[in-house]
Structure 1
Amino acid sequence: MDTIRCLADTADELGESPVWDPRDNCVWWLDNLKPAIHRCDPATGAHAEWKLPEFVGSIGLRARGGFIAGTLQGFAILDPAKGIFDTIARPEPDKPGNRMNDGKVDRRGRYWCGGMNARFVETYEASASLWRLDPDGSVHRMETGIIVGNGIAFSPDDRTMYLSDSSAKTVWAYDFDSEAGTIANRRIFLSATNFPGHNGKVDGAAVDTDGFYWAALPYDGLLMRYAPDGRVDRCYRMPSSCPTMPSFGGAGHDVMFVTTARKFLNGWQRGVQRWEGALLEITGLGVKALPEPMFAG
């Protein structure tokens, strides 16, 4: 039987990008807007926080230590314990209204990151792109026409990549060539029709070893599990009304960590909602995921 508990009540404005690090058996995550990076040891509850110099949309483990990060300016190497925040690539210096958002490392050690139009609420302009950062530091534009890039995940057989545009209320699936690092044959995996009665904006996502896609719907307070054919398999009403991203971790990779946000709460909801902006832990789901890959650069 699944159990949800609050692991760290950090009151994040926009909690995002939980990542399990087997090097310290801790979960790391971000408050994008503070901005800050957190670490928590689930075994002891010990929590630490480091302030960051700029907005960071997502992080991935880095084989050489620390993290690879998608940031306000582009891509950076981040190691909070050593005080390192080094920008290594700026793919869109001509578009100051864009920034990096959701990102994931693939099993060949490349970092995929969806950009976003930081003024999306005002303009809904699809000015952002999907980027691939290779271990050699080269940056490649893989998709265009995105408003808010989110929901990146890879199937366990490395044949499918998923990408959400939250503002377009659409999740696409692509044929993924892991060896070449290419995507093709874009098709709709989920759209507004898959969310009857709900807002339908998918934020962060994860895929389990059965190939099922777990999606956070922050405007609906839901965590959904979708089968590879798009069928709804499970639906969880979360104790926090704004879940933002699920991720698997723990020694058996069978524990789910879910970040949440205060940003999307109405004024009357702040201070009333349970565990708003907290990191949640779900156990007993009966599923697991593959270990998180590490950026090879």
Structure 2
Amino acid sequence: MTFTAPLTGVVPPVCTPLTPDREVDTASLIRLVDHLVRGGVDGLFVLGSSSEVAYLTDRQRRTVVETVVGHVGGQLPVLAGVIDMTTPRVLDHVRYVTEAGADAVVATAPFYTRTHPAEIARHFRLIAAGSPVPVLAYDLPVSVHSKLAAELVLGLAAEGVLAGLKDSSGDEGGFRQVVMGARARGGISGFSVLTGSELVVDSALAMGADGVVPGLGNVDPEGYVRLYRYCREGDWERARAEQERLCGLFGMVAVGDAGRMGGSSSALGAFKAALHLRGVIDCPATAEPQVPLSAGEVERVGKFLAGAGLL
């Protein structure tokens, strides 16, 4: 499917189901994609944080893109993360995901290396020059240790380098600066502003965001599709109620014991446990070295699902 700008709606970052021996479970991945498509989502983002992209080998990344693009068959746009430390490595990923049929690519700022904002801008310009499909920036300072400034993003958008921003910074003021800046420039042609913060979708859409990229959307795509529709219809009372229901469901990400596992193990483990409990994927395994949830923690995930009407 040709990428249509600006991208709008609900575009979940697709989890990557794994087998017990930590290979990509393509059959479960296809069922997950079908679950999301039935839920009414507007696009799919593979190889993002909720996809465990940082844990996957290059071979596994290729398998994910090829499986999803091959199965979706142009029904929805497929965005593929090309996340890596430096520009040459990112361009390698751009090459194989676009050869596999990805409709757009999503890249963070460089990391591990210490970069200046001018070098971050150069990074995105070089990616755009080497990509046959649109490029979206992914603002994820908790992982890459640099924040994409609003003026940098807006400047690259005005140049035609960036087709969008996925903001997972948690900085609502900075997010609003991008939305306001784009509007002040008369609306930058084809540029989408998407929030990755699943707890404040109603607020982001009220600010003027174009859409949402919710990790929790793997578990409850219908809920985020309803929330998006209520916001677009201006039914803010129903939107608030739906957002608050999803906030309650999001509590599952904290089921893991912080004394023995990190936040990634807890959150991604909860999403996968929920998908397993809902019968979408065969195995809730997360990639090494993440610690699996205990039976008691999985039981708590089930209680969150039941409380949200999903079991």
Range class of TM-score, shorter chain: 0.3 to 0.5
Pick the structure with more helix per residue.
Answer: 2
- After TM superposition, the score normalised by the length of structure 2 is 0.34
Please identify which structure carries the higher strand content. Answer: 1
- What TM-score, normalized to structure 1? 0.35
Larger Rg: 2
